[in-house]
Chain A
Amino acid sequence: MPLERPQDPMLIQAIRHSQAMQRARQLNLTRRGFLGAVGLGAGALALAACAPVTATQKALTPAADLSATQKTLIWDNWPGYMDEDDAGANPTLDAFRTQTGLDVTYNVAVDDNNTYYAKVKDQLALGQDIGADTVCLTDWMVSRLVRLGYIQDLDHANMPNLANMNASFANPDFDPGRAKSVPWQGGFAGICWNKEKVPNGLKSIDDLWSADLKGRVGVLSEMRDTIGLIMLNQGTDITGDWADDKFTNAMDVFTKHVSEGQIRNIKGNQYLNDLQSEDTYAAICWSGDITSLNATAGDKWQFAIPDSGGTLWNDTFVVPMGSAHKANAESVMNYYYEPEVAATLAAWVNYISPVDGAKEAMDAIDPELATNQLIFPDADTLSSVHVFRTLSAQEENDFGAQFQKVLLGS
């Protein structure tokens, strides 16, 4: 339904911004643009209008698959996750388009798991089209989607290349046998520092709390990474079945350093700006980002897995119930599990490839990258990183609220 344009110039600006941030999906455009824009007053009102009134749900069924007749695919993903040549084209994806004749729309639409979820959750809950046929979200969010029954079963017969999936990715606790999800790229959360400002480097999370770095430390707003690293530093096995008090202990350390001003900023992808502007000298950060940052902004930063261990996460393909192009989505997943394609991609994005054989294929592209522990970790490196265990719904609620409380300083 058409919406009258507000006359307030600030609103207009805000609307343009929010529109730019999402792909133009006919019906949703005006409504979502409006939501993002008005933010508080009317935005809050309108958001509430979308909030589910009842929670009782019947089991969703997958949309009919029209892949045989409709050769299209819309794919939402995070920024910096697709190889690009100097002309701005995506070589691997273009090759896929030519090879299959599929019309792939690749949207850099995910900036944060929570905000992406908040944007599409109403459609997800109703089993409707979310505007994407497949999306890559982090495994903890995928486990929530699995738990809620929002995503389709995948047909492994359409994806013979999944045989190349590294065994360590094959059986996550939320999706044994990968019946519903396929890993895209993974990474570590660890620590990084500005080599000019912190010449001696950092070894552990405790080093982040040193007096020299007061007000110069950034941490991630991704709870499982920031709190996970602190828990590891306190000797908790984050993969195991730890109890609430382990989380609370880590929160205490976190809260203390936020309130005392040791931690300057708590951010998502934006933390890179702070490193670059030198508002922060050290940070909890994601492995692949530092390689990219060094490439674009001078070789100034160093990444390390803290001696008490780092976290390991995966961004993972899922096909929502409302997608009518599941087979097309499976076709793109299958394509990226060809070792040569995976190697080409990994050479550009610098994150962990879940594909066996990609390392060997990388030898032909760039032998130096094939030994890079951040892309092709060996057994030693993998033993030093841990997956934050899947939280129950109750824990997700409680821990999330505790973490946000600190972020708001309340």
Chain B
Amino acid sequence: MAFSAFASTPAAAGPVVRRRSWIALVLLLPGILYLLLFFITPLISLVFTSFQQPVINGDIGQYSAGFQWSNYTDSVVQYLPLILRAFGYALLATLLALVISYPLAYFIGVKVRGFPLVQSLLLTLVIAPFFISFLLRTLAWKQIMSDEGPIVVGLKALSIFPSDGHITGTPFAVIFGLTYNFIPFMTLPLYATLERLDVRFIEAGNDLYASPFTTFRKITVPLSLPGIVSGTLLTFIPAAGDYINASGDFLGSAQTSMVGNAIESNFLVTQNYPVAAALSIVLMAVILIIVGFYVRRAGTEDLI
């Protein structure tokens, strides 16, 4: 079934239902209402906000309707480093999460296939961190990586680390936090596809004298591509907008701020809603473009 991803023509969608049943529409109604109320309405409001202009001699946080394009140019110019950093960190975290999750998912989904109990146990372990708030887990990592924490003290004792070196507040800590927090989102979709991987294809590859690497590259990876695509999207999109890991209260510092931190700060601290709204829209647009290209390249439009 996964091969449909690579079909040059759209897979036959089965018998076409011609009669539009009113029941289907009624069933769709709650979803449509939900989207209208909680997605479309705020989105329109956000677009309007992003064009607002400050009230002349107005107080803090006072803006009036307008058409101020410069909100976009100004905010992009001012926060370009933060935007680039957000996508850079998110990309690295996604790649790291993929490298860590793929063997994990392969092991759970393929290697221990014959032992359902072990499989469930391992899956539970993957999900287990969710039983604790991710804020608490991130704070725990902050303690572990703090200057007087075991890691830094240990590294310094081994003289691997300069005496004034530290981990928290560095890009390493932020990317680590992003990777750590999003690994389950990568592992589960990968597991879902690998779990259905037909091992007879791999046996066939071996029988045809393909090296293990070639078999992996030509068979396993393509068959698990839907999982890779959904896993990377589930990791990359929220990671690019994350503002917890990069915040100074958690693993980051002023030198690691991402675009999410700029949006948070403009909304909540300086009450500069137009700039925050413009940045949110820029972030959304860039993510949409990147994801659009990625999905096209991966050839998996009909899987998502």
Contact = CB atoms under 8 A, between A and B. Distances in A.
Q: Nearest 3 pairs between A and B by C-beta?
A: A55-B62, A40-B241, A45-B42
A47 B61 CA distance: 13
A99 interface: no
A408 B134 contact: no
Contacts of A214: 164
Nearest to B61: A121
B168 A3 contact: no
12 contacts: A9-B184, A39-B244, A41-B280, A45-B42, A47-B267, A48-B280, A52-B62, A52-B63, A118-B271, A278-B146, A393-B60, A409-B254
Q: A-side binding surface: helix, strand, loop or mixed?
A: helix
Nearest to A258: B254
Contact of A40 (B65, B164, B271, B280): B280
B263 A44 contact: yes
Contacts of A397: 54, 60, 270
A14 B168 CA distance: 22
Given A265-B248, A404-B269, A409-B81, 12 more contacts: A39-B260, A42-B42, A48-B46, A48-B273, A53-B49, A118-B267, A121-B271, A215-B164, A268-B249, A277-B147, A278-B147, A408-B82
Contacts of B276: 44, 47-48
Contacts of A45: 39, 42-43, 45-46, 280
A404 B265 contact: yes
B269 A52 contact: no
Interface in A128-172: 144, 147-148
B261 interface: yes
B41 A49 contact: yes
Contacts of A46: 38, 42
A397 B34 CA distance: 36
A384 interface: no
A400 B46 contact: no
B39 A401 contact: no
A40, A54, A118: which has the most chain B beta carbons within 10 Å?
A: A40
A10 B42 CA distance: 22
Contacts of A47: 267, 273, 276
Contacts of A293: none
B146 to A, nearest CB: 4
A48 B49 contact: yes
Nearest to B277: A48
B148 interface: yes
B161 to A, nearest CB: 13
B61 A407 contact: no
Interface string B238-252: 100111100011000
B57, B149, B273: which has the most chain A beta carbons within 10 Å?
A: B273
Interface string B39-79: 10111011011101011011111111100000000000011
Nearest to A20: B133
A239 interface: no
A48 B227 CA distance: 34
Interface in A32-82: 39-42, 44-49, 51-56
Interface of B: 34, 38-39, 41-43, 45-46, 48-50, 52, 54-55, 57-65, 78-79, 81-82, 127, 130, 133-135, 143, 146-149, 164, 166, 168-169, 181, 184-185, 238, 241-244, 248-249, 253-257, 260-273, 276-277, 280, 283-284
A294 B271 CA distance: 36
A13 interface: yes
Contacts of B283: 40
B39 A115 contact: no
A147 to B, nearest CB: 7
Contacts of A55: 55, 58-59, 62-64
A45 B43 CA distance: 6
Nearest to B242: A40
A170 B243 CA distance: 42
Contacts of A394: 57
Contacts of B133: 13, 16-17
B52, B60, B271: which has the most chain A beta carbons within 10 Å?
A: B60
B135 A17 contact: yes
Given A52-B62, A409-B257, A114 B262 contact: no
A270 B257 contact: no
Contact of A13 (B48, B134, B243): B134
B262 A408 contact: yes
B61 A52 contact: yes
Contacts of A405: 78
Nearest to B255: A409
Contact of B39 (A17, A42, A53, A117): A42
A400 B130 CA distance: 37
A215 to B, nearest CB: 6
A53 B169 CA distance: 37
Contact of B267 (A3, A44, A147, A406): A44
Nearest to A269: B249
A267 interface: yes
A361 interface: no
A39 B268 CA distance: 11
Nearest to B254: A409
A393 B280 contact: no
Contact of B45 (A3, A49, A147, A279): A49
B136 to A, nearest CB: 9
B237 to A, nearest CB: 8
Nearest to A40: B241
A325 interface: no
Given A17-B133, A406-B254, A48 B45 contact: yes
Given A17-B133, A48-B46, A277-B148, A408 B257 contact: yes
Contacts of B82: 408-410
A244 interface: no
Given A42-B42, A49-B45, A279-B146, A264 B243 contact: no
Interface in A380-410: 393-394, 396-397, 400-401, 404-410
Nearest to B279: A44
A4 interface: yes
Contacts of B127: 9
A44 B277 contact: yes
A55, A117, A396, A400: which has the most chain B beta carbons within 10 Å?
A: A55
Nearest to A113: B269
A144 B254 contact: no
A284 to B, nearest CB: 14
